[in-house]
Amino acid sequence: MDARIDPLGGFGLSLGDAHVVRNAGVEVTDDVVRSLRLAHETLGSDEAWLVAHSDCVANGRDDSRALATLRRGVAALRGALPDGFRVRPFFYDTSAGTLSPIAEETA
């Protein structure tokens, strides 16, 4: 949701390359699951990239809390979406403008 983050440019993507679902605090809500399920069932999407970021107001500007929320979200999506649907976690540093993958075994 944060306007400081360009979700396409950060991944080197262009308009039309990805479906973007944005919400505050990287919380995986029923609406997020519904949107991803719809993208999977009707458009064949088979992967979601969950991105938390530094200085997140929804997570009290606490990076550890943002990462914990990210990990909960990854687990929630993996439990809610079909087998074979890949969920990849990332962390965006708003100060440095860098995007880093989070090791999936720790997410």
Parse the chain into domains and list their residue ranges: 9-106
Task: Judge whether 51 and 5 are in contact, CB under 8 Å.
Answer: yes
Q: Taking residues 55-63, report their average pLDDT.
A: 92
Stretch 67-83: mean pLDDT, rounded? Answer: 95
The pLDDT assigned to 4 comes to 83
pLDDT of residue 9: 86
Q: Judge whether residue 107 has pLDDT over 60.
A: no
Model confidence over 2-57: pLDDT tens digits? 888 888 888 889 999 998 999 899 999 999 999 999 999 999 999 999 999 999 99
Report helix, strand or coil for 99: strand
Q: Which pLDDT value is given to residue 3?
A: 84
Rounded to an integer, what distance in angstroms lies between the CA atom of residue 19 and that of residue 89? 16
User: Can you give the pLDDT at residue 105?
Assistant: 59
Q: What is the pTM of this model?
A: 0.88
How many CB atoms sit inside 10 A of residue 105's CB? 5
pLDDT at 61 (0 to 100): 93
CATH of domain 9-106: 3.40.1050.10
